């Protein structure tokens, strides 16, 4: 993916939000630390889904849907994406309207 990760982002599912907790400096919101959440606990079955929103100004929204979940033979430090459709637009292009 060509995005740099320099913008705010969040994952959402079932009215819950996973973020980098430092972004909520006043603890105003009921947010979950994304770094302490195992993806397999949130997306636990084939076809389950969540929304990924990147760059709140440009408002890029993606539906994350695992097509197949397999148990890894060895421990992996994070999920691995083996493929995906279409590439992302350039950083700071201005959203869909840009």
**Residue-level pLDDT, tens digit, the chain, 98 residues:** 567 778 889 999 999 999 988 877 788 888 999 999 988 889 988 889 999 999 888 888 889 888 877 777 777 676 777 776 666 777 878 877 76
C-alpha 71/C-alpha 1 separation (Å) is: 25
Sequence-ordered list of residues with C-beta below 8 angstroms from that of 43, at least 6 positions apart, any chain: 13, 49, 50, 64, 66, 69
Q: Where are the domains of the chain?
A: 9-64
| Token duo for residue 77 | 């430090």
Residue 11, classified by CB atoms within 10 Å of its CB into exposed (0-12), middle (13-18) or buried (19+), is buried
Give pTM, 2 decimals.
0.75
Q: Strands 31-33, 16-19: parallel, antiparallel or unpaired by DSSP? A: parallel
Cβ(70)–Cβ(41) under 8 Å? no
Q: What is the pLDDT of residue 32?
A: 93
């Amino acid at each position: 993916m060509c995005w740099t990760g320099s913008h705010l982002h969040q994952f959402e599912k079932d009215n819950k939000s996973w973020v980098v907790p430092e972004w909520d400096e006043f603890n105003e919101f009921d947010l979950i630390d994304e770094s302490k959440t195992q993806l397999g606990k949130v997306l636990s079955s084939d076809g389950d889904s969540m929304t990924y929103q990147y760059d709140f100004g440009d408002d890029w929204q993606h539906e994350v849907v695992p097509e197949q979940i397999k148990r890894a033979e060895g421990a992996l430090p994070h999920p691995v994406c083996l493929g995906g459709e279409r590439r992302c637009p350039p950083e700071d292009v201005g959203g869909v309207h840009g």
